[in-house]
Amino acid sequence: MFKNMTKRRGVRYGAAVVAMGVNIISVTGCSTDSPKPASTMTQEQVKSNADKSFERLKQEEKNRTTGSGPAPY
């Protein structure tokens, strides 16, 4: 009787290992999509964006200092 029990456990264990292996392979296979290329920006575009952002920041600071009362938070 003990011999039959160990045989069944071995089959269950083997089936569980196979099922886990299939799950791992399916998860890693789906998660390894090819990476999309990053958008390339020229140095001129980066400088232009930085300049625009800096101008907006200066304008906000100017508006904050000329406004009456404390700055709203």
Interval 63-73: pLDDT, tens: 888 765 555 55
How confident is residue 15, by pLDDT bands cut at 50, 70 and 90? confident
User: Where are the strands (E) in the chain, listed by range?
Assistant: none
In the prediction, which pLDDT does 66 show?
A: 78
In the prediction, which pLDDT does 64 show?
A: 86
CA distance 19 to 27: 12
How confident is residue 1, by pLDDT bands cut at 50, 70 and 90? very low
Q: Are 65 and 72 in contact (CB under 8 A)?
A: no
More confident residue, 60 or 1: 60
Separation of CA 12 from chain center: 37
Q: Read off the DSSP letter of residue 12.
A: H
